Structure formats: structure tokens, C-alpha cells
Amino acid sequence: MSSFSLYLIGVLVLTGGLAYVAWLLHAPLQWIGAGVIVVFGLGILGAVKHTQRRDPPPR
């Protein structure tokens, strides 16, 4: 399993946990949905940034 997929699994677990807590606090569903979209989008951006390959130094 690649680092990218592990990172995304972690983001999914985090997002699901935050959504569940918001639901337990009786937050409106549209706010929960918006929060899930934002956190998941930031997670994808972070996964791409942290798992991209770096160019080798010039010779």
C-alpha cells in the first residue's frame, strides 16, 4: 500500500470521526456536509503535497 493511500485512509477516518461528533452535537446536516467536503479536500491537497516525488539535484 502506498503512502498516498495510507494518507487518504487516515483523512477518511478523521473526516468520519469529525462528522460523527458534529452529528452527535446536533449540527445541521448542511454544515456537516460542507465540513466533510472541506476537510476531505484539504486532506487530498496534503496527501499530494507530502507524497510527491522530488526532482533529483542537478549534476
pLDDT of residue 33: 96
Q: Which residues contact 2 (CB under 8 A, 6 or more apart)?
A: 51
pTM above 0.75, yes or no: yes
Q: Any idea which residue has 477518511 for its cell?
A: 12
- Where are the domains positioned within the chain? 3-51
The reported pLDDT for the residue numbered 13 is 96
Mean pLDDT in residue range 10-19 = 95
Task: Assess contact for 22 and 30: CB atoms under 8 A.
Answer: no
Whether the per-residue pLDDT at 3 is higher than 90: the answer is no
pLDDT, tens only, 18-56: 999 999 999 999 999 999 999 999 999 998 888 877 767
pLDDT for the residue numbered 57: 73
